[in-house]
Amino acid sequence: MASMTQQRTRYHHGNLPAALAEAAARLAREGGPEAVVLREAARRVGVSPTAAYRHFANHDDLLHAVKDQALATLAGHMEAEIGSGEPLADPVEDALRRFRAIGAGYVRFALAEPGLFRTAFCRTDTPDPPDPSATRPFQILTETLDTLVRLGKIPPDRRPFAEMVAWATVHGLAVLLVDGPLARLLPEDAWGAVIDRAGDTVIEGLTHG
Amino acid sequence: MASMTQQRTRYHHGNLPAALAEAAARLAREGGPEAVVLREAARRVGVSPTAAYRHFANHDDLLHAVKDQALATLAGHMEAEIGSGEPLADPVEDALRRFRAIGAGYVRFALAEPGLFRTAFCRTDTPDPPDPSATRPFQILTETLDTLVRLGKIPPDRRPFAEMVAWATVHGLAVLLVDGPLARLLPEDAWGAVIDRAGDTVIEGLTHG
DNA sequence: TGTACATCAGTGAACGCGCGTTCACTGATGTAC
DNA sequence: TGTACATCAGTGAACGCGCGTTCACTGATGTAC
């Protein structure tokens, strides 16, 4: 597998779509969605801008590819965070542990890769068809909440919209920390505490204390 | 006070800075921060692009003016929402009412004026100097939480970072509804219910049930 | 196994666009005497 | 009350830039016979 930076020698690239998407993703990583520039991606791959149009309908199509990839990476981080902790014996405790891990993975990804995070939620001309409820992380969140209801930790009347509330809290935290005013309000060493407090609050709020 | 659209007849405009800022704000309203284009603002005011440089250092300076204005408008909506409900006799109940109103005003503004809302939190080259804690809405939120602690509704150990958690929830909700995937996930007539549930959850979480 | 030919995957030059910004300038205004 | 002049607030033309996109093209590949 040839590295992106190395000189291309053959006339045919081999896997230009993937290479372009990768270069575009690197742009997103460095500068967010507005840095995803078709011509620059082509430049980095060592190919003429025109060549991109053989594989992507237009600029927005390329951006969309990067966005999907960023969302998948976010999902990966969330799942990794779940897997990184060791399961707890008590099923309730373990469900709560997973719940927190999902949120922590989310925010951690946003802080570690702000460019990709912003790209994952950027606006595109063509709307993304996939329902977020169809994605892995959302499924995991839903299942975790269902488990907590089944085990009697969350009262059934608190279940509706619980995933949206949890998502909103975690997303808001991520956004406000990544480029919002929270970062200016809060010394960086307090961020962990805020994230923990947010987790506590949502859990208390859903489980009714 | 001359309307923006009417033909300017005098050589001197009278109040070009305000007129440009207003035109730029209208652009933000219609298309968000990326629609704030210096040349277009000048065009709408009926003035040459160069004239803008007499009053704004550069494009970013103009955008910043719009951003500040959008933040002020958001603050206004929040205060209006507080004022629109009638005060409750019980001080605890009234503090909770104000707390909810702050959040509801925030989200409502975002939904009513997505372009301005996005501009209020957009990135600019020059960072905004004013600490958000210095702004009215943030002060009101802080005071309301302090009141709830004083009245014994919120345990003191839950007080730290409470305004950040509340803010994050409400901001996340706004962002995800305005242009995020929540809008696709949720029929519009359920939005009110989610907002309410978010309010309930945060309050329960902070007051410990 | 060789060859003709359709198809695929690139090139290179150019397009129009609209932007932010700068230049040397002119018209209007206000102030000192 | 008039006049000279500094200062202020605009104009108009032009700049360079980099973008997305299109055009007619050529080099490489694979398939039918």
A106-145 pLDDT, tens digit each: 999 999 999 999 999 999 998 887 677 778 889 999 999 9
Q: Which has more pLDDT, A132 or B89?
A: B89
* pLDDT reading at A27 higher than 60: yes
Angstrom distance (rounded) from CA B116 to CA B31: 8
- Enter the DSSP assignment of A87: P
- Residue A80 token pair: 């990794």
- Work out the average pLDDT over B147-164: 97
Confidence band, pLDDT 50/70/90 cuts, at residue A2 = very low
pLDDT band at B170 (very low <50, low <70, confident <90, very high): very high
What whole-number percentage of chain A has pLDDT above 70? 95
Measured in degrees and rounded to the nearest 5, phi and psi for residue A149 equal: -70, -45
Residue B11, class by beta-carbon neighbours within 10 Å (0-12 exposed, 13-18 middle, 19+ buried)? exposed
Q: What is the mean pLDDT of chain B?
A: 93
Does the pLDDT value for residue B109 go beyond 60?
yes
Which residues in A lie closer than 8 A to residue B209 (C-beta atoms)? 204, 208-209
Is B131's pLDDT higher than 80? no
Using an 8 Å Cβ cutoff, are B36 and B74 in contact? no
**Nearest C-alpha of chain B: how many angstroms from A192?**
11
Statement: the CB of A166 is under 7 Å from strand D: no
**A203 to each of A118, A162, B26, B98, B209, how far by Cα in Å?**
26, 10, 41, 23, 11
Residue A101 one-letter amino acid:
A
Which residue in B has a C-alpha nearest to residue A177's C-alpha? B168
Mean pLDDT, rounded, for A18-31:
98
Residues of B in contact with A67 (CB under 8 A): none
Q: Are A118 and A33 in contact (CB under 8 A)?
A: yes
Given this model, what pLDDT does residue A4 score? 40
Pick from A182, A177, A44: nearest CA to A114: A177
Average pLDDT, chain A: 93
Calculate the angstrom distance between C1' of D30 and CA of A119.
39
B190 burial (CB, 10 Å; 0-12 / 13-18 / 19+) is middle
What residues contact A9, with CB distance under 8 A and at least 6 apart? none
Is residue B165 within 8 Å of B198, Cβ to Cβ?
no
The residue that leads in pLDDT, A24 or B5, is A24
Asked if strand D comes closer than 7 Å to B2 Cβ, the answer is no
Please count the other Cβ atoms lying within 10 Å of the Cβ belonging to residue A132: 18
Token output for B15: 């109040």
Q: Output the pLDDT for position A7.
A: 56
pLDDT for B9 equals: 66
Q: What is the pLDDT of residue B155?
A: 97
**Cβ contacts of residue B140 below 8 Å, gap of 6+?**
B78, B79, B82, B98, B102
Q: Does pLDDT of B4 surpass 50?
A: no
State how far the alpha carbon of A146 is from the alpha carbons of A98, A159, A168, A206, B108, in Å.
12, 8, 18, 12, 30
Q: For residue A209, what pLDDT is reported?
A: 54
Residue A45, number of CB atoms within 10 A of its CB: 22
Kindly list the distances between the CA atom of residue B153 and the CA atoms of A47, A199, B158, in Å, as whole numbers in the listed order.
64, 20, 10
Residue of B nearest to A159 (CA): B197
Q: How far is CA B17 from the centre of its chain?
A: 22
Chain B residues with CB under 8 Å of A173 CB are 164-165, 168, 172
| Residues in chain B whose Cβ is within 8 Å of chain A | 121, 123, 127-128, 131-133, 158, 160-162, 164-165, 167-176, 179-182, 184-186, 190, 193-194, 197-198, 200-206, 208-209
Residue with tokens 């951006």: A63
Token pair, residue B74, equals 């958001």
Confidence of residue A1 (pLDDT cuts 50, 70, 90): very low
pLDDT confidence band for B49 (50 / 70 / 90): very high
Strands (E), A6-144: none
pLDDT score for B209: 54
What is the percent of chain A where pLDDT is above 90?
Answer: 85
Provide the pLDDT for residue A24. Answer: 98
Name the residues in B39-58 having a C-beta closer than 7 Å to nucleic acid strand C.
Answer: 39-40, 49-50, 53, 58
How much is the average pLDDT of B56-61? 98
Mean pLDDT in residue range B151-177: 98
